[in-house]
Amino acid sequence: MTKLLWILGTALVALVITRVVLQLRAGGKSPLYALAREYLAEQLVAQGIAHQVPARCIAEIAERYAGAVASRPLGRIAAASELMKRIDAAVMLIAAWVREGREVPRSIGEMPLPELAAPDVLQDLNALDSEN
């Protein structure tokens, strides 16, 4: 009986450790972060520059845009669409940067990525409010 309890206890600990590792690997973040990483990587491959952009930069860029989109009150589909638009713009700038012969910097702060400003629709609404 004691052997059986030890085996069950060990199995339970292994399951808990596996779950923790999987959550850490996924960053413990929303599916938007995973979408951002995957979509960014796919777009860099499509542009033929994935091998020139370090994995740490991909993670930083994905986190930057996913965090900006996740902070807005958007539905899942609208958030995914907004995220993809922003990543597409970032990929175009990264592609131009790489094709000019520049190396990808150590920090994405040194790269001229598109701003994280509010979408035009929200800016237009704010402008209308300030006029009244």
Structure tokens belonging to residue 89: 């713009």
pLDDT on residue 26:
55
Residue 4 lies in a domain: no
Given a contact cutoff of 8 angstroms between Cβ atoms, the answer to whether 84 and 102 are in contact is: no
User: What total number of domains does the chain contain?
Assistant: 1
Residue 119 lies in a domain: yes
Q: For each successive 10 residues of the chain (132 residues), what is the average pLDDT?
A: 83 77 60 90 92 86 86 83 90 87 75 60 41 44
Residue 11 lies in a domain: no
Residue 3 lies in a domain: no
Residue 111 lies in a domain: yes
Residues 6+ apart with CB under 8 A from 33: 26, 27, 62, 63, 66, 67, 70
Residue 2 lies in a domain: no
